[in-house]
Amino acid sequence: MPVKDCKTKPSVGSGERQHVTIRFRLRGDKKTCRFLNGLAGVNRYLWNAALAKAKEDYTETGKSQTSQFDFYTWYKVHKDTVAPWLRDYPVNATRTGLKDLADAYKQFFKKKRGFPRFKKRGKAKKSFSVDVSGGKIFSTNGYVRLKRGMHMKMLRFYRVNRYTNSVPKTARIFEENGNWYMTVVYEVDATLQDADGIGIGVDRNCGQVDDSAGRIFYLTDTSDIEKRIKKLQRRLAKKQKGIHSWRRRKKTIARHERKIKNIRRNDLRPIALSLTEISELVILEDLKTKGMTASAKGTVENPGRKVRQKTGLNRLILGTGWAILEQFLRERDMVIKVPPYSTSQTCSKCSCVNAKNRHRQSEFLCLTCGYQANADSNASVNIRASGDGMLARIVPNGLWSLWLTCPCGAQACKDRQRATKHQKDHESCCSWT
């Protein structure tokens, strides 16, 4: 069966498959947690040893063997000669770290990331991949087998039953603030949804999300937790770095920050689900978050103005999680982006563009036709209109829903340039063009 990411709506009876990622919290005794710490240390050791061997070979011969097969061959020799203690740990949870190193080299050669670095103990994240081919390490009652006679409980394992014909493909175990988690990527049957076929515009704002259907989704207020974090940070600044109370305070701050992150993700995932249930196309603004959250302090010669106000706005923008919402939407739907210029100043009824139309932060009042509405809801309608106009220029006759599921099986494109290239390359195979 063909495997596709959940970006296009499958047709009835198509037999398509999709990938879903589920995160479980692992529960076990102290002995099991010590074993996981050992596995993380073994993976860090193998990463550093293999990386040092590759750099040494390149220094001596000008070439280095960095493929997955080469690292696996080195692993067998290294385990028998230099580190026989590696036999105490399962191969499916130690050798996979070498695959990560081989993938890191591939991305470096493709200029997608920097050169692989050594992992330092105490600073590197405790994380390692697990070979789950065949799904033999999972039990039906929600336990994962680490080695013979050692298991850990996967909390809320029943979430896998929401999908049909689930097959585990990859898995990773990692530590986060003293707790162990496991993320598993499953290949499941694609879900079918009733869609309107016309698209929906979404306006991402600070603390809320608006769509062109007139709905407003408010995010949970986390100001109390943020105040608590500021208070703890002031106390942390007065302590000597490295002492026991300093480390304890750091863990407390990390726990509160993790709570905010979980609250935000729990808010955005249902919002993404609600948006994708009524349309198979989501239209977003192409917001440049890096430029929008730049500091306003300026320089010594040209100092900035309203620096503290801009800092608070930057904190709100980054705390809303625009990229997380886009990620959740792309997991389920086709997403395109349109230019954000004047979407909040344009009237969705008469198309009049005037900066004074934005009567207040949340109120829109057109000075030409007198149309009045919520400013963000009006902007979401303009975003949808911009997306429809873009698709009309790309796809003939407005048949974009057929273009998304091209008969040639090509992936749907994410922007206008790739979409135009997609149309030109597949005119011969697509009858609707």
Q: Tell me: do 371 and 245 sit in the same domain.
A: yes
> pLDDT for 157-179, tens place per residue?
988 888 888 899 999 999 987 88
Q: Tell me: do 328 and 247 sit in the same domain.
A: yes
Total domains in the chain come to 3
Per-residue pLDDT of the chain (433 residues; tens, 9 = 90+): 333 334 334 433 346 788 888 899 999 999 999 999 999 999 999 999 999 999 999 999 888 889 999 999 999 999 999 999 999 898 888 888 899 999 999 999 999 889 999 999 888 889 999 988 877 889 888 999 998 889 999 998 988 888 888 899 999 999 987 889 999 999 988 765 555 557 888 998 888 899 888 888 999 999 999 999 999 999 999 999 989 999 999 989 999 998 999 899 999 988 998 888 888 788 898 888 888 888 887 776 777 788 888 888 888 888 888 888 988 888 777 788 888 888 888 888 888 888 888 877 788 888 888 888 888 888 888 888 888 777 766 555 444 544 454 444 334 443 434 444 444 444 444 433 3
Long-range contacts of 180-183 (CB under 8 A, 24+ apart): 180/25, 180/26, 180/28, 180/33, 180/36, 180/152, 181/23, 181/24, 181/25, 181/26, 182/23, 182/24, 182/25, 182/26, 182/130, 182/144, 182/154, 183/21, 183/22, 183/23, 183/24
Q: Tell me: do 364 and 375 sit in the same domain.
A: yes
Strand ranges (E), 257-360:
281-285, 334-338
Evaluate whether residue 358 is within a structural domain.
yes
Evaluate whether residue 2 is within a structural domain.
no
Q: Tell me: do 297 and 308 sit in the same domain.
A: yes
Q: Tell me: do 170 and 298 sit in the same domain.
A: no
Q: Tell me: do 137 and 125 sit in the same domain.
A: yes
Q: Tell me: do 40 and 142 sit in the same domain.
A: yes
Q: Tell me: do 54 and 183 sit in the same domain.
A: yes
Q: Tell me: do 59 and 166 sit in the same domain.
A: yes
Q: Tell me: do 227 and 375 sit in the same domain.
A: yes
Q: Tell me: do 276 and 402 sit in the same domain.
A: no
Evaluate whether residue 6 is within a structural domain.
no
Evaluate whether residue 338 is within a structural domain.
yes
Evaluate whether residue 429 is within a structural domain.
yes
Q: Tell me: do 168 and 210 sit in the same domain.
A: no
Evaluate whether residue 121 is within a structural domain.
yes
Domain membership of residue 276 as a residue range: 200-394
Q: What angle do CA 260, 262, 333 make, to 5 degrees?
A: 125
Among 167, 189, 211, which residue terminates a domain? 189
Other residues' Cβ atoms within 10 Å of the Cβ of residue 91: 14
Among 189, 215, 240, which residue terminates a domain? 189
Q: Is 199 helix (H, G, I), strand (E, B) or coil?
A: coil
